[in-house]
Structure 1
Amino acid sequence: MATVDRKALTRWIEMATLAPSLHNSQPWRFRVDGDTVEVYADPARRLEVLDPEGREMIISVGAALFTLRAAIRAAGRIPAVAAFPDPGVPDLVARVRPGRIAEPGPDALELAAAIDRRHTSRRPFTAAVVPADAVDKLKEAAIHEGARLAVAGGASRTVIVSLGRAAADRLRRRGGYFAELNRWTRPVPGRLDGIPAHAIGPWDALERIPMRDFGVVDSQPSRRGEEFEAFPTITVLTTVGDAPAQWLQAGQALQRILLVATRLHLATTPISQPVEIPAIRDVLSDPRTGRWAQMVIRLGYGPPAAATPRRPVTEVLLAPASEV
């Protein structure tokens, strides 16, 4: 089997860094070991107030892992993945090796082409309904990664929106919340992480959408209110089980869903507040089946979203093990 040079591996890692993450915290690191890429969580970038257990950190790393897989597959290799391969190194989330050569199909090429076009939208969507066949493709994307995507009906959508508002209220009362929010939204010249002002969007004048209000901190300029869609398409991503393995699974499913949605010209907003309060997350989960809510995703049609900055690949690459 033909070997893969370091230049190709580095290019795929650079694509992986375009994955979404909580507050654009980019909590990942990578190491190239021969023809293998090691994917690590970076605990220094975990949000201590919002994510005390590291669940959302692992989901973010899972999204980067899927992006790495998609980049490798589009380059004509079958990625071989070993999740949490070393119990003695808990931050080592996966080892990924480009496996046998295989011509990528149209779906694989389209997924990879969507990587740098996928951006989180925090703006109002149009009233256009997301077609049933598009929803089916997104459900298939979740199933492909061992997860499930449920679309909220009218009544459950109202409940989720209400739960989102309740979660936001509780989070604002949590000690350190505003300081942490300010940390990731503070404008700093040349900053390559966090949420810049241009990506924050307006506030929902009618409070229909349970999105995080990044404009509540002093570092952000005042924003105008706009009217968001009256009947948003809200989905809930779930897994069977709620341990790091399932969080990693959820992150890979999330990114596959977002990339498929991008291919379908859909705008997307991952919404995490309802799953950041345990009591509210319990309501969205189903203890009878062991199915746990991992993320809420808003879908629709809207203007192109702005990109958020990314750290250069040199900042996320660890030194080879032989040099440590």
Structure 2
Amino acid sequence: MRVAEVMTAPPLTTTTDAGVDDALALLARHHVSSLPVVDAAGRLQGLLHEVDVIRGRVPHAALAGGTPGPGAPPAVVGDVMAPVPARLGPDTDLATAADLLGSSSVTSLPVVDDQGHVVGVVSRSDVVGVLTGTAGDADDGLDTLTRRLLQLACRAPSVHNTQPWLWRATGSVIELYADPARQLAAADPDGRSLRISCGAALHHLQVAARALGQGCTVERLPAGPGSTLLARVSLEAGPDQPGTPPTDADARADLEAITARVTDRRRFTSWEVPAPRLEHLAGIGARAGCAVVPVVDPGRRHRLEELVEQARDLLSQDPAVQAEQRAWVQRSTHDGVPREATEGPATRFDDRPVVDPGGIDRADGVLVLATPTDEPLDHLRAGEALSRTSLSATTGLLSMVPLSHVVERPETRRALQRDVLGSALVPQLLVRVGWQESSRERLAPSPRRPLADVLLH
């Protein structure tokens, strides 16, 4: 078995000129102990270990409050990084990688191509995955780049973490299909939430393609609005070598956001999200075909909160919806909402499991995703807007939680359009935005289906 078949890609990296404090935050945010260090072109320069970052950065009590002297810790990563104990290539035999990991103090090693670009990271846990039979998608028949793109696309948010998408890859063309078997019959009989979820995956795919050196042309609903074929994406090699790590900061941030994003339904802090931050998110999310509307007016905000609670009460009285939601909590190791995301002192869940939280706190920011009409293309566009907004929120260290139940009931959806939007725009989704407690343990990403389960041949 080759390293390329089990490595994590794209890798999380830092740069030689990055601030050490920024690198420290990156290590903490992603719960990793080391990072490959690359230059502006993505070529491997060294390794940054957490022990190197923290050494000398916490003053002893006797020195607290003093001014840094000549011995102050380095400010940039290039001054504190360590040499790489061994270099692996994508074609390196996994047994060789395992021997190197076992004989060194590091828990992971970077994987570089012939030009020295970092294309992945292989860790001891990757090797353990092979030994226990839990390694991912090595036998899916995909080339390395396509597999990487689809793995990233499948990190998109979806209603109840149903992941209701299927993919067909043929050469440079990737097709996205809805998976009707994963439609929520009780809560989503028209398939609106299903298509919104697929739209988010479509945008994740576009982001990943751009970041990995691929241009792409998207044809939405190529077989018409009644087909399960939702999009056809044609890939084209960009100016950079396909599959190489991104060289610009925006592309790196996009990839970090895809891997870091989680739906954390726990109660936000009491810190308000400033209106300019909401406006910025709305501007990022809004594109042709979908508007993102911040709700900041006190009167409309109060009415929205009433509608959210009304929708929760209505759904709590629907036995079919309740049974469906319970079925998707702790459903399996590959899908559904993990129980840790529904329990604990800071959660909004109670004995009546509702996968979308019921209330909106005073400090929560609120955005409404709305479209001109209510057709399948609108739903797909709303999903793409959801992806854009959530990735931007993640980059800005904000947490974002979609609320679908207020649009699942016709009466609350009509009232949301009339009383809150006050326009002809059709509400597709409500999201709340806020800050998580910095001291709170970060939730692990929700589980994902193996690629073999979502591939059409």
Question: CA offset at residue 215 of structure 1?
Answer: 4.5
Which residue number corresponds to residue 207 of structure 2? 70
Which residue number corresponds to residue 431 of structure 2? 297
More moved, 16-25 vs 280-289: 280-289
CA offset digits 1:270-303 (Å, max 9, x no partner): 1111111111111222598531111111111104
Q: Give the paired residue count.
A: 300
Which residue number corresponds to residue 307 of structure 1? 445
Question: CA offset at residue 75 of structure 1?
Answer: 0.8
Secondary structure at 2:402 match in 1? strand
Secondary structure at 1:216 match in 2? coil
Q: Is the 8 A contact 1:150 1:237 kept in 2?
A: yes
In structure 2, the CA distance between the partners of 1:274 and 1:121, relative to structure 1 (3 Å rule), is same
Give the Cα separation in 1 of the matches to 2:340 and 2:237: 42
Q: Following superposition of structure 1 onto structure 2, how do residues 92-171 of structure 1 map, counting pairs within 5 Å? A: 92-102=229-239, 105-144=248-287, 146-153=289-296, 154-171=298-315
Q: Among residues 330, 336, 344, which one is paired with 1:194 in the alignment?
A: 336
Give the Cα separation in 2 of the matches to 1:298 and 1:275: 14
CA offset digits 1:68-125 (Å, max 9, x no partner): 0100010112221000111397000001111351456532331222001111111111
In structure 2, the CA distance between the partners of 1:80 and 1:283, relative to structure 1 (3 Å rule), is same
Give the Cα separation in 2 of the matches to 1:284 and 1:8: 43
Amino acid at match of 1:167: A
Gaps of 5+ in 1: 206-210, 221-226, 320-324
Which residue number corresponds to residue 247 of structure 1? 379
Q: Among residues 228, 234, 247, which one is paired with 1:91 in the alignment?
A: 228
In structure 2, the CA distance between the partners of 1:215 and 1:30, relative to structure 1 (3 Å rule), is farther
Gaps of 5+ in 2: 1-141, 241-245
Secondary structure at 1:63 match in 2? helix
Q: Is the 8 A contact 2:177 2:228 kept in 1?
A: yes
TM-score, normalised with respect to structure 1: 0.85
Give the Cα separation in 2 of the matches to 1:132 and 1:161: 18
Q: Is the 8 A contact 1:204 1:228 kept in 2?
A: no
Amino acid at match of 2:429: M
Amino acid at match of 1:191: T
Amino acid at match of 1:174: D
Question: CA offset at residue 133 of structure 1?
Answer: 3.6
Give the Cα separation in 1 of the matches to 2:370 and 2:279: 16
Matched, 1:238 2:374: no
Question: CA offset at residue 230 of structure 1?
Answer: 3.5
CA offset digits 1:149-207 (Å, max 9, x no partner): 2222222222111111111111122241121112101x45x5211111111145789xx
Give the Cα separation in 2 of the matches to 1:145 and 1:124: 33
Give the Cα separation in 2 of the matches to 1:102 and 1:141: 25
Q: Is the 8 A contact 1:29 1:317 kept in 2?
A: yes
* Higher RCO structure, 1 or 2 (CA under 8 Å, sep 6+): 1
Indicate the RMSD between aligned Cα atoms, in angstroms: 2.6
Question: CA offset at residue 131 of structure 1?
Answer: 3.0
More moved, 245-254 vs 85-94: 85-94
In structure 2, the CA distance between the partners of 1:145 and 1:74, relative to structure 1 (3 Å rule), is farther
Q: Is the 8 A contact 2:166 2:455 kept in 1?
A: yes
Which residue number corresponds to residue 216 of structure 1? 352
More moved, 106-115 vs 44-53: 106-115
Give the Cα separation in 2 of the matches to 1:143 and 1:89: 25
Which residue number corresponds to residue 22 of structure 1? 159
Give the Cα separation in 2 of the matches to 1:88 and 1:279: 25
Question: CA offset at residue 306 of structure 1?
Answer: 3.5
In structure 2, the CA distance between the partners of 1:215 and 1:263, relative to structure 1 (3 Å rule), is farther
Q: Following superposition of structure 1 onto structure 2, how do residues 43-82 of structure 1 map, counting pairs within 5 Å? A: 43-82=180-219
In structure 2, the CA distance between the partners of 1:239 and 1:9, relative to structure 1 (3 Å rule), is same
TM-score, normalised with respect to structure 2: 0.61
Amino acid at match of 1:296: L
Identity %: 34
Which residue number corresponds to residue 99 of structure 2? none
Amino acid at match of 2:306: S
In structure 2, the CA distance between the partners of 1:233 and 1:87, relative to structure 1 (3 Å rule), is closer
In structure 2, the CA distance between the partners of 1:59 and 1:87, relative to structure 1 (3 Å rule), is same
Q: Following superposition of structure 1 onto structure 2, how do residues 258-297 of structure 1 map, counting pairs within 5 Å? A: 258-285=390-417, 289-297=423-431
Give the Cα separation in 2 of the matches to 1:255 and 1:215: 31
In structure 2, the CA distance between the partners of 1:159 and 1:309, relative to structure 1 (3 Å rule), is same
Give the Cα separation in 2 of the matches to 1:306 and 1:295: 24
Secondary structure at 2:374 match in 1? coil
Which residue number corresponds to residue 322 of structure 1? none
Amino acid at match of 2:190: E
Q: Is the 8 A contact 1:124 1:228 kept in 2?
A: no
Secondary structure at 2:308 match in 1? helix
Question: CA offset at residue 243 of structure 1?
Answer: 0.3
Q: Is the 8 A contact 1:18 1:310 kept in 2?
A: yes
Amino acid at match of 2:167: F
Q: Is the 8 A contact 1:138 1:261 kept in 2?
A: yes
